[in-house]
Amino acid sequence: MATKISTTSCCRLEGKLFTGVRLERIFERSSDAQSDASYHVPSGQSLKEEIARAYRIASNAYFQFKRAFDHPSYSNEVKREATRQFARTFFSAALGYNQPRTVEQIEVAEGHSSNRHVVTFPVAMLLDQTTDATEARMASSTNITPLSGNDGQRVSSIIPLTVVYAALDGKTGQRSTLDSILDACAITDSAKPKKVGRRSPFALTQELLNMSADYLWGLAFNGFSVRLLRDVMSFARPSFVEFDLEAIFEGDNQAEFSHLYLLLHSSRAHVDAISGLNVWEEWLKLCAQEGIPAREQLSKSMQEAMECLGTGFLRAKGTGNDALRAKIARHELSAQDYNHQLMRLMYRFLFVFCLEERGIIHTRFTAETLKQKATALQAQDLKDQLARERSAETMVEPAYALPDEGEDHGLNLDPGIWLPDQANNLTVGGGVLLETLYPRN
């Protein structure tokens, strides 16, 4: 699910490129590497003044591009060139990149010598931020650690920039987006010369980054939107940060442009000659560190919930509970196996809660009703309340209703957590269940 950084934001975060918290800090200039000097602000100037200057340049370039795009008598080729000219001005004059290098295509060799083939990507430009210091480091002794990203892949100062004309659909009259499949983004493979793989601008750039070892970060641009993306290990979910240029400039929103500037400025792509990382990679490291406390807290909460339910099952009355106690007494069920069953049960809960959050399923009891019940339990003496609840033992079967058969919600169910012999036919007091889901602080 895409995330907007604020209710008025022109920035869209998808996947796990950065965390929302880290982006907020970047936009507030409270992250690392955000001094005036780190953005290469000239002496005697402030970053605020530089952003205002860049905004005027970019805004003027946008409206020149927009006039050409909207002109009824201009050909598609003229509009395509207007898009490219806007890209040159936007990245070089406004964001400080070296003048983009125009390239017709990028070729990537695949396979081994016996079945080697070449895949061709029609990327329009390259942003080359290589400095003399970086080149010297790369050419120096092999004893020096090579430039590499957080996943071990080499960090390049060369950024592929896919620039496409946002052509109008002949049937709908709608502009194409960075997710629209276009003829201009067709990938060719020498192993399959007659087969052309059409892609969207985003997918074209992402596939290039994933396939080539020469590039780690990339950009996709169509004049109305710009996306930053990185090489990823999986296509399961797209990951990128996108800025709506049309909304920024048509709305004269310099504040949103400042967010774009702080994230996409050329200084962010520069590879440090000492660390071997660019600023984006440094920020990714911080995102990973921010996730550690959350994972530790989740682990602690899971452990507490499993202990609560595990004890409740052993104490509760019921056919399944009697069988559980008998198996443990006869050493037919080890503590480790019991722990595994409890863990699978917790995964069931988490899975169902996620479906409920997405509105795919509904419950007979609302979340508010359960919270009110949990609050009432916490306000009374817990032992007395649990004693009363024991008389009305509750099956640990979520009272959820799945959607009508045939509805496709893109769910990939793992049957392993739903096997009938896992946590089967156990009962527990309602108070224990509520204490598990809504523990007392």
Please name which of 31, 9, 10, 91 lies closest in space to residue 57, comparing C-alpha atoms. 91
Q: Does residue 89 have a pLDDT over 90?
A: yes
The pLDDT, as a whole number, for residue 402 is 41
Q: Does residue 1 have a pLDDT over 70?
A: no
Higher pLDDT, 177 or 291: 177
**Spatial CB neighbours of 287, under 8 Å, sequence gap ≥ 6:** 16, 18, 19, 22
The pLDDT, as a whole number, for residue 164 is 96
The pLDDT, as a whole number, for residue 258 is 97
The pLDDT, as a whole number, for residue 106 is 93
Q: Does residue 302 have a pLDDT over 90?
A: no
**Residue 12 token pair:** 């869209």
pLDDT tens for each residue of 214-241: 999 999 999 999 999 999 855 567 899 9
**Residue 65 token pair:** 């591009």
With cut-offs at 50, 70 and 90, classify the pLDDT of residue 424.
low
Higher pLDDT, 405 or 430: 430
The pLDDT, as a whole number, for residue 23 is 93
Q: Nearest 5 degrees, angle CA 356-CA 357-CA 363?
A: 25
Question: Taking all residues of the chain, what is their mean pLDDT, rounded to a whole number?
Answer: 78
As a whole number, mean pLDDT of residues 335-343 equals: 79
Q: How far apart are the C-alpha atoms of 440 and 8, rounded to whole Å? A: 36
**Which of 146-160, 205-219, 305-319 has the lowest average pLDDT?**
146-160
pLDDT tens for each residue of 374-412: 566 555 544 444 444 443 334 344 433 444 444 444 444
Please name which of 430, 361, 362 lies closest in space to residue 395, comparing C-alpha atoms. 430
- The 3-state DSSP composition of the chain as helix, strand, coil percent (nearest 5) reads 45, 15, 40
With cut-offs at 50, 70 and 90, classify the pLDDT of residue 351.
confident
Report pTM: 0.67
As a whole number, mean pLDDT of residues 285-293 equals: 77
Residue type, 397: E
Higher pLDDT, 378 or 74: 74
With cut-offs at 50, 70 and 90, classify the pLDDT of residue 48.
very high
As a whole number, mean pLDDT of residues 297-322 equals: 76
Q: How far apart are the C-alpha atoms of 49 and 173, rounded to whole Å? A: 40
**Spatial CB neighbours of 323, under 8 Å, sequence gap ≥ 6:** 425
